[in-house]
Amino acid sequence: MKILGNIIWLFFGGIFIFIEYLVGGLILCITIIGIPFGLQVFKLSFVALWPFGKKIENNPNSNACLNIIMNLIWLLFGGLWIALSHVIVGLLFGITIIGIPFAMQHFKLAGLALSPFGKTVV
């Protein structure tokens, strides 16, 4: 079921989300200051490419001072808008019964977009 969900996800928008995140991550990696943020966008892009069957877990050091500071900077400069867009699309998918699994994946991406530092994808 995971493979079928991922294939449907890929053909109906997942590839576009992946490409958008990939381009955004490459643009952020142009500068030295943007590299940590670009790496987090790459994390988002690979979850957006194949989201079914992946889980988001906290690292043991997820409450470290640097992770909290980087998550606050991330949230202020774009993470909130990314998460909000995933929530809106997730709500639109959640209207229909068929779209509920895809809505859940968008909500998972929204949670990762709010605070990507200190989290791993399993």
* Containing structural domain, residue 31: 2-121
- Quick one: pLDDT band at residue 60, thresholds 50, 70, 90? confident
Give Cβ neighbours of residue 85 (< 8 Å, ≥ 6 apart).
none
What is the pLDDT at residue 78?
86
- Mean pLDDT in the chain? 91
With beta carbons less than 8 A apart as the criterion, state whether 39 and 26 touch.
no
Within 29-99, where are the H helices? 35-49, 65-74, 80-93
- Average pLDDT over every residue of 95-118: 92
d(CA 14, CA 102): 10
Tally of domains within the chain: 1
- In the predicted model, what is the mean pLDDT of residues 45-69? 88
Alpha carbon 74 to its chain centroid, in Å, reads 13
